Structure 1
Amino acid sequence: MKNFIRNIFILLLLASCANEDYDPISYDNPEVTLNIPADFPDLNTFFYDNVPTKYGVELGEKLFKEKRLSTDNTISCSSCHMQENAFADHNAIGIGIEGRVGLRNTPPIQNLAFMQFYNWDGSKRQLETQPLVPIITHEEMDSSILEAIGKIATEEDYINLFYKAFGDEGITPEKIYNSIAQYEYTLISANSKYDKVKRNEGGTFTEKEEKGSIIFQQKCASCHGTELFTDQSFRNIGFPVNPNTDEAGRARVTGKNEDLYRFRVPTLRNIEYTAPYGSFGQFATLKEVLDYLDRGVLDADNLDPILKDNNNRIPLTEDEKESLISFLKTLSDVDFVSSEE
């Protein structure tokens, strides 16, 4: 009996020592240091649950460019979100597999870490819930997340990257969403001429750009405020209505009549690269947008008060339009749209 008790004691002691000496498997995957621009709004709170890491971002970029996420292996995220267009494209409305036409213009992907809403109608509040939408949408990739996983699950490159990014080789939907979001969080644009002038890094506005800056503050900044050049609100500004009867703007999310044809105010950063403009590419050029606002917009019960109080228009002279466009082009971040590859 004594020997039995002694053996049990020794086993417990060995187990205790083993636990003390246990060193869990670790992997080197440091967080990415982001250059957060001064005066930018707060980060989206979900960012802190999925902070970008070295390999998370690397994996996310690879998946962002992966055409096998689509059912016929022809369309990736980067097919519509092209870097040279500030991660938008040149089509009036997004085009998916087999030339299928979607509902809306492809929005640019920039400074998403600071956004509180995603998509034209703000249907997503968390960036990590966004990647599934294009994968399963009929007019976009028309696939499923399980189908996409099946195509890459046995590839050594992906197995290794998933391990480096998340500590194990398992490929799951959540890891795909999180890594794509981590990559997108790093797409920060804040190095335009406007930014450099503001930071006193050399250079000044031309006379026309300076005049445009003043006009912008007077007639545009109430909606396109903050350093993101959007206040992230939802507004009906009387743009031509999408003939697609599936469109309802923000009302598609809320179900409220007062949100009919309200859309999230788009950022104006890099706007020089993101034509055409409007929720379904109604306008080919910035000049067309300003001409429309000057002539008068469509009336609506929920038309934005700024327009209602000003006879449904934003009056602009031709010289003011030219000056405004000159200023807007100072928001172009050449480095951001230039590929390093």
Structure 2
Amino acid sequence: MEKGLSILAIFILLISCNNDYYEPAPLDNPQLSLNIPLNFPELNNSVKTNVPTKYGVELGEKLFHDKRLSADNTVSCSSCHIQGNAFADNNAQAIGIQNRVGLRNVPAIQNMKFMKFYNWDGNVLQLEDQPLVPIITHEEMGSSILEVIGKIKDDVMYKDLFKKVFGDETVTAERIYKSIAQYEYTLISANSKYDRIKRNEGDVFTENEKQGYLTFQQKCVSCHSTELFTDQSFRNIGFPLNTNTNEAGRGRVTGLPEDYMSFRVPSLRNVEYTAPYGSFGQFPTLRAVLDYFDKGVLKSNNLDPVFKNNGNRIPLTEQEKTHLILFMKTLSDREFVKK
């Protein structure tokens, strides 16, 4: 009898010890089957440990649109990341609470699960680490994660969703970040005219679009490669400088002089909808970007060789510029932006 009681006591002790690490099993919350577009790059490793689920995505989308994430309840993620603009906006620089102006242009949110780096300077490597940044940044939401948790933890709808996703109603910072990332992982854009042509679904380039594609392959593809239309590298391409003393591009992250004012090459998918262009919206139109490349960019010690080895410019005729823009518009996914 005493031996049996001892075994039972040990069993209870083991259970109590393990409670510190206990994560309740979620309810019926199936993983979502997301089609991976043909020839897209490999998934970011973090996707494999935070696979989008039915209710995880629903929770993430609700959080993405909730203005209570900001200090004064006026700004949500979706306030800056607008679907009709490929989840970017049309401001030169981000506008946060009380009309505070941010350091940089709002990047588009699309095909995030295939990216190696996030933000213009690549300071985030896992999407789950990103949501905290706008929440605590003074110029964006100006809040704190503890303040956000306090606002939503007694919300009946949130309690239900957290239980469906994680097995109980507890609202934690990690769970918020994971859910928002799950939603953003579902924002895949791969149904443009270009994609349909690649899939032999009946669409064809016009003659001018075809000429633009040829020019693109000759003069643009070294940076805007892969099916994401970015090689995800960091480059100084001689754009007009943001003189804000906080700005150093990739150099803010690495501390290396050779990375000064280098920025992540943006994807050209849905570029038609994401004006203005540049790290702080230096250019109002695609034509203005191409004109700048043609006339000559700013010189610098770390200017990208694409420019430095060619007289600090990419020479383009007026016809080539017109055709290039027509080709870039074939990368517009109207289903993705709901247009």
TM-score, normalized by length of structure 1?
0.93
CA distance in structure 2 between the aligned counterparts of 1:305 and 1:278, rounded to whole angstroms: 19
Q: Which residue of 2 aligns with 1:201?
A: 201
The code of the aligned residue for 2:244 comes to: N
Code of the aligned partner of 1:51: V
Aligned mates of 1:270, 1:35 — CA distance in 2:
19
Map 1:48-59 onto structure 2 (within 5 A): 48-59=48-59
Identity %: 69
Counterpart AA for 2:93? I
Q: Distance in 2 between matches of 1:31 and 1:300?
A: 48
Q: Using the alignment, how far apart are the partners of 1:145 and 1:66 within structure 2?
A: 14
Letter of the aligned partner of 1:321 in structure 2? K
| Deviation sequence 1:132-162 (CA, Å, 0-9, x none) | 0000000000000000010011011000000
| Distance in structure 1 (CA, Å) of the matches to 2:197 and 2:77 | 33
Partner in structure 2 of residue 296 of structure 1: 296
Instruction: State the distance in 2 between where 1:195 and 1:25 align.
Output: 40
State the SS of the aligned residue for 1:217: helix
CA 1:5–1:75: 2 relative to 1, 3 Å: closer
SS at match of 2:330: helix
Return the alpha-carbon distance in structure 2 between the equivalents of residues 205 and 5 of structure 1.
84
CA drift at 1:335: 0.3
Distance 2:26 2:322 in 1: 58
Q: When the two structures are aligned, how many residues end up with a matched partner?
A: 326
Shift of 1:5: 6.5
**What is aligned with 1:247?**
247
Question: 1:186 is matched with which residue?
Answer: 186
The corresponding residue for 2:20 is none
| Equivalence map 1:183-332=2 (5 Å) | 183-332=183-332
Give me the whole-angstrom Cα distance separating, in 2, the residues matched to 1:167 and 1:231.
39
Q: CA 1:26 to 1:60, structure 2 compared with 1: closer, same or farther past 3 Å?
A: closer
Bigger radius of gyration, 1 or 2?
1
- Equivalent residue letter for 2:110: Q
- Runs of 5+ unmatched residues, structure 2: 16-23
Over 3 Å counting, the alpha-carbon distance change for 1:149 and 1:316 in structure 2 is: same
Q: CA RMSD in A?
A: 1.7
User: What is the CA-CA distance between 1:243 and the residue it aligns to?
Assistant: 2.1
The whole-number CA distance in structure 1 between the counterparts of 2:25 and 2:127 is: 30
1:130 aligns with 2:99: no
> 5 Å matches for 1:20-39?
27-39=27-39
Unmatched segments (≥5 aa) in structure 1: none
Instruction: State the Cα distance separating 1:64 from its structure 2 match.
Output: 0.2
Alignment deviations for residues 276-304 of structure 1 (CA, whole Å, 9 cap, x no partner): 00000000000000000000000000000
Q: CA distance change for structure 1 residues 203 and 245 in 2, over 3 Å: closer, same or farther?
A: same
**Equivalence for 2:152:** 152
After superposition, what is the alpha-carbon deviation per residue over 1:44-90, rounded to whole angstroms, capped at 9, x for unaligned? 01110101000000000000000000000000000000000000000
Counterpart of 1:92 in structure 2 is 92
Quick check: 2:26–2:166 contact (8 Å CA) kept in 1? no
**Partner secondary structure for residue 331 of structure 1:** coil
State the one-letter code of the partner of 2:103.
Answer: L
Distance 1:100 1:216 in 2: 37
3-state SS of paired residue (1:37) = coil
| Structure 1 residue 25, shift from structure 2 partner | 6.2
State the 1:163 CA deviation. 0.6
What do the CA deviations read for 1:13-72 (whole angstroms, capped 9, x no partner)?
xx9xxx9xxxx9661000011110010000001110101000000000000000000000
Distance, in Å, in 1 between the alignment partners of 2:190 and 2:167 is 33
Q: Which amino acid aligns with 1:207?
A: E
